[in-house]
A and B are shown apart, each in its own frame.
Chain A
Amino acid sequence: MRFKRRGSIRANIPSASMGDIAFLLIVFFIVTTTFSVDKTKVNLAESLEREATVPGAAIIVIDSDGNTFLSRGDRNPELRGIDDITVFALNLVARAPQTQFTIKASRDVEYRYIDKVLEQLRDVNARNISLLTIQRVRTSAG
């Protein structure tokens, strides 16, 4: 006796949920990432202790030659003189006294440049600064 085939199964992979998954990933990327404003290349100092810096903070970049780049945190830092920090910081602190300043200095730069930066920030009563570092790998010796 031959059985009669009644229906045919359509070979079809449902792809409707693919869009949902993809949009979830997009939302994740939008929430967790920020556009990198600062594109300066600096060989940062290393430290074991590191805390997340405040996004959107004003950036003071000092490269290994002592060149100073400044940004309010909304665009790529521009080349300026190191003595311009006072006016730059004063404008920001006058508007928001709790302005965060991120110092992004080369590990090879002489301390005299950092000293000048700290002096000017202190002069304008800047309170919150962070020294940008990269993670130091802990060796067995500590």
Chain B
Amino acid sequence: MRFKSKLKIDEEINSTSTADIAFLLIIFFMVTTAFGTTRGLEMSLPKKQKVQEAATTEAVLIEINRDGGISLDGMPSSVSDIRPYLEPKLARNPNKFVLVKSDLSAKYQALVSVIDELRQAAVKNISIPTQREIQRWGRYEGGGS
């Protein structure tokens, strides 16, 4: 006599909780990590000879004074004047050096604003001489190129 099997068991792995686990992991990653996209102004520090070259060639001098005001080759100006002043010079010489000399008491934002403007003007050679270098080459202290 053959018995008829009444109960049929579904052979299936229950995957309902997989999504719950996965979403828990997603929440963990969202909370504990941050998008790695810190941004800023990239610069390459030159070799010492290069700085000397910038100091000795005909360069545009941008001075930042203690209250954040700037002067272009000795003439009092504003940050928005930088591009119009540099464009004809860069058209003649795309590798024109620009020296940025900041007062020690000036705010860092003033320097960043000037570098930002120079980047927008597509200046390739920006030189930021340190105080020690300025003292060493006192010849461009307080004067234009």
The chain A residues found within 8 Å of chain B, CB to CB, are 15-16, 18-19, 21-23, 25-26, 29-30, 32-36, 45-53, 55, 102, 105-115, 118-119, 121-122, 125-133, 135-136, 141-142
A92 to chain B, nearest CB (A): 14
Across the interface, do A49 and B22 meet the contact criterion of CB distance under 8 Å?
no
A104 to chain B, nearest CB (A): 8
Across the interface, do B43 and A130 meet the contact criterion of CB distance under 8 Å?
yes
A-B contact count (CB 8 A): 163
One of A48, A55, A118 near B130 (C-beta < 8 A): A118
Interface digits, B129-142 against A, CB 8 Å rule (1 contact, 0 not)? Answer: 01110000000000
Across the interface, do B36 and A50 meet the contact criterion of CB distance under 8 Å?
no
A72 to chain B, nearest CB (A): 16
Q: How large is the interface on B (under 10, 10 to 19, 20 to 34, 35 or more residues)?
A: 35 or more
The chain B residues found within 8 Å of chain A, CB to CB, are 15-16, 18-19, 22-23, 25-26, 29-30, 32-45, 47-48, 64, 80, 102-113, 115-116, 119-120, 128, 130-132
Across the interface, do B109 and A46 meet the contact criterion of CB distance under 8 Å?
yes
Across the interface, do A36 and B112 meet the contact criterion of CB distance under 8 Å?
no
Cα separation A43 to B49 with both chains bound (whole Å): 35
Cα separation A57 to B7 with both chains bound (whole Å): 64
Known: A46-B109, A108-B108, A129-B45. A19 touches B36 (CB 8 A): no
Contacts A107-B108, A110-B104, A129-B44 known; 20 new A-B pairs at CB < 8 A: A29-B30, A35-B33, A36-B33, A47-B112, A49-B41, A52-B39, A53-B39, A53-B40, A55-B36, A110-B107, A111-B103, A111-B106, A112-B105, A118-B45, A127-B44, A127-B45, A128-B45, A131-B43, A132-B39, A142-B80
Across the interface, do B108 and A45 meet the contact criterion of CB distance under 8 Å?
yes
A57 to chain B, nearest CB (A): 9
Cα separation A32 to B64 with both chains bound (whole Å): 40
Q: Can you list 9 A-B contacts (CB < 8 A)?
A: A19-B18, A23-B22, A34-B36, A46-B109, A46-B112, A47-B119, A111-B105, A111-B107, A115-B104
Q: Please indicate the chain A residues that have their CB under 8 angstroms from the CB of B34 in the complex.
A: 33-36
Across the interface, do B23 and A136 meet the contact criterion of CB distance under 8 Å?
no
One of B22, B39, B42 near A19 (C-beta < 8 A): B22
Instruction: Please give me the residue from chain B that is nearest to A51 by CB atom.
Output: B42
Across the interface, do A131 and B115 meet the contact criterion of CB distance under 8 Å?
yes
One of A109, A118, A141 near B128 (C-beta < 8 A): A118
Across the interface, do B112 and A45 meet the contact criterion of CB distance under 8 Å?
yes
A139 to chain B, nearest CB (A): 11
B5 to chain A, nearest CB (A): 21
One of B26, B103, B115 near A22 (C-beta < 8 A): B26
Cα separation A105 to B107 with both chains bound (whole Å): 11
